[in-house]
Structure 1
Amino acid sequence: MSDFSTRNADGSANLAPMSSAWWLGDQCMLGMNTASQTTRNMLREKECVLNLPSSALGGAVDRLALLTGSPERTPHRIEKGYRYEPDKFGAAGLTPVASELVGAPRVAECPIQLECTSLSAHRFDQADRATAHTVRVVRAHVDEELIVPGTAHIDPDGWDPLLMKFCEFFGGAGRLRESRLAEAWRIPQPVR
């Protein structure tokens, strides 16, 4: 789950919740509605910020759920109860902070903020309802409390991300077991 910030054509900020993402190295594939303001902004600006909220931010993300940054709502969005909101940061009770390498602002309250540039955008389905965006992380901002001391790795036990499964929020998941993959990749584990 992430809060996806982009910049509108007039330079103002847009913020949207987004749950369709998968990662490989410094690249991420993002899936989103083709008609969304976020997709329009991504296609025009070629950049964004992925703000990764902790589970404590579920309420703020939920306040974004039925908002749109576009005054023109599709029939589907009208049916679902979406309303136009030009100040999504304010509506969610979140604080914009300037990015270093991209124009879109970061969300101050998110413990991980990833400034990204667009590598590609492709139609995901024949009906053109979804667009798959590939982005590259060009700058990462991570709360020091989440870093394994003496490394550049995030402490998996200290990071409690907000997750979405079937449109419901989840958090607080603990480690199930040690991973041989983490050992093979020499990912440091914090001493407990």
Structure 2
Amino acid sequence: MAGTDHVTITPSILYFGTPVALLTTLNPDGTANLAPISSAWALGHTVVLGLGAGSRTAANLAERREVVVNLPPSDLWAAVERLAPLTGADPVPPAKREFYRHEADKFAAAGLRPQGSEAVGPPRVAECPLQLEATVRTITPAGPDGGFRIVECDVVRVHAAASVVVPGTQHVDPAAWSPLIYSFRHYFGLARPELGHGFRSQTPGTGS
């Protein structure tokens, strides 16, 4: 019978399937840093981000409390993976030196284009259909050794490609929007077709 054959495991990671976000922040010299993360969630217009404490992004947000949360589509996975081994930290923190290397111009390295923001300093990623300009409300140390930062952000402006918006509305069309999903260090798109919608959905029937 399904559900009766569980085993106890100790996985090294718990990325059980979350959307990828590309975070843009400003470095001390005013240049842009671009970093992929797979720990982000939203509640209302609050977005919560999970970051490594030693990352350039975490340092930037502590010093300059503005960010753009760019949400890439599933077909942008290769560009995201080009960013994965790069860090804006120079020198590279000891804990990251085995797998990461410093890169000053991450937009060029990933083959992506910066796009000016309207309410915050960091640029948007032009190729991302959803772009959330935000300000940082709180930064909280987390993890058993304080190795993470939990960052609460207030979204102040949302940009959406016309192709993913229900015409004549302020709603994202969930049938047109296909976010990039990171699941146990593998990339996926959303499964299609739509299975159904929640009872509070304001866009019922868009995928039918």
Tell me, yes or no, whether TM beats 0.5.
Answer: yes
Identity of aligned residues (%): 43
How many angstroms apart in 1 are the aligned matches of 2:201 and 2:119? 29
Cα deviation 1:26-46 (Å, max 9, x = unaligned): 111100000000000011111
One-letter code aligned to 2:173: D
CA distance change for structure 1 residues 147 and 84 in 2, over 3 Å: closer, same or farther? same
**1:155, 1:189 within 8 Å by CA — same for their partners in 2?**
no
Structural mapping, 1:23-172, within 5 Å: 23-80=42-99, 82-172=100-190
SS of 2:91's equivalent?
coil
CA distance change for structure 1 residues 188 and 148 in 2, over 3 Å: closer, same or farther? farther
TM-score (norm 1): 0.94
Post-superposition offset of 1:178 = 1.3
**2:174, 2:207 within 8 Å by CA — same for their partners in 1?**
no
SS of 1:113's equivalent?
strand
List runs of 5+ in structure 2 lacking aligned partners. Answer: 1-19
How many angstroms apart in 1 are the aligned matches of 2:202 and 2:58? 37
List runs of 5+ in structure 1 lacking aligned partners. Answer: none
How many angstroms apart in 2 are the aligned matches of 1:187 and 1:160? 16
**2:33, 2:88 within 8 Å by CA — same for their partners in 1?**
yes
Post-superposition offset of 1:184 = 2.9
How many angstroms apart in 2 are the aligned matches of 1:60 and 1:78? 21
Cα deviation 1:120-146 (Å, max 9, x = unaligned): 000012311100000011011100110
Number of corresponding residues: 189
Post-superposition offset of 1:189 = 3.5
Post-superposition offset of 1:188 = 4.1
Greater helix share, 1 or 2? 1
How many angstroms apart in 2 are the aligned matches of 1:175 and 1:50? 27
**1:148, 1:188 within 8 Å by CA — same for their partners in 2?**
no
Query: Any runs of at least 4 consecutive aligned residues in structure 1 with deviations exceeding 4 A, and if so which?
Result: none
Structural mapping, 1:3-42, within 5 Å: 3-42=22-61
**2:131, 2:159 within 8 Å by CA — same for their partners in 1?**
yes
One-letter code aligned to 1:190: T
Larger Rg: 2
Of residues 30-39 and 124-133 in structure 1, the stretch that sits farther from structure 2 once superposed is 124-133
TM-score (norm 2): 0.87
**1:148, 1:189 within 8 Å by CA — same for their partners in 2?**
no
**1:5, 1:49 within 8 Å by CA — same for their partners in 2?**
yes
**2:132, 2:158 within 8 Å by CA — same for their partners in 1?**
yes
Of residues 129-138 and 169-178 in structure 1, the stretch that sits farther from structure 2 once superposed is 169-178
One-letter code aligned to 2:29: D
CA distance change for structure 1 residues 159 and 72 in 2, over 3 Å: closer, same or farther? same
